[in-house]
Chains A and B, each alone.
Chain A
Amino acid sequence: QQQVKQSPQSLIVQKGGISIINCAYENTAFDYFPWYQQFPGKGPALLIAIRPDVSEKKEGRFTISFNKSAKQFSLHIMDSQPGDSATYFCAASGYSGGGADGLTFGKGTHLIIQP
């Protein structure tokens, strides 16, 4: 059972454009929603995170939008740059499969920013 569904699987955006990645979750016990960024040959690294008591969080060019009623959240990358090319994972934490302290990850989105 996939508890965090992520789309699209891959995305190509022109430099300067907006990249949008979407995630949906099923378990209402989830209470923490981070996004991780992974470059080839490296481990995932925390990019930005949100809790369900706010609808939006912005850090620089990265924004998370959160819709609690729809059980959806998304990552927006403004003014996308070639250096943003990476794989992005949404995740959720709560009392799901991996235990209270584990993270459940989406399948990832391979983002390519074309110069």
Chain B
Amino acid sequence: DAGVIQSPRHEVTEMGQEVTLRCKPISGHDYLFWYRQTMMRGLELLIYFNNNVPIDDSGMPEDRFSAKMPNASFSTLKIQPSEPRDSAVYFCASRAGTGGPGELFFGEGSRLTVL
């Protein structure tokens, strides 16, 4: 299996621009998670989906952030408008429904820099 695939790997944008991050989970996995990693805050769970349905978005920092999962093989995380404090590495992770809690498979991340 190809693993979790994220794009772009690196994104540099200016404040106020829209940013869209993409994720393709492992085929057959029922859960998809979006995490954000910063030096100060570590790994934070933003939102997760089960069978394409958002279950918990309490970690989404504010209304500028939105996530969708239109089908089982694709998810997006959108930031509009972006701000410098959004600079971070954003990870997508997936797991099978029968894998038990915690067995997440992470992508390689999308490093976002907002100038």
Contact = CB atoms under 8 A, between A and B. Distances in A.
Contact residues of B: prevailing secondary structure: strand
Interface string B73-109: 0000000000000000001010000001111111111
A89 B23 CA distance: 23
A99 B31 CA distance: 12
Nearest to A107: B42
Which of the four size classes fits the interface of chain B? 20 to 34
B45 A103 contact: yes
B56 A99 contact: yes
Nearest to A105: B43
B58 interface: yes
Interface residues of A, number: 26
Most chain B CB neighbours (cut-off 10 Å) among A33, A49, A97, A102: A102
Contacts of A97: 45, 58-59
Nearest to A49: B102
B86 to A, nearest CB: 19
Interface in A65-106: 89, 91, 93-94, 97-99, 101-106
Interface of B: 4, 31, 33, 42-43, 45, 48, 50, 55-56, 58-59, 91, 93, 100-109
17 contacts: A34-B103, A44-B104, A45-B105, A46-B102, A46-B103, A46-B105, A89-B43, A97-B58, A98-B45, A99-B48, A99-B56, A101-B31, A101-B56, A102-B33, A102-B48, A103-B102, A108-B42
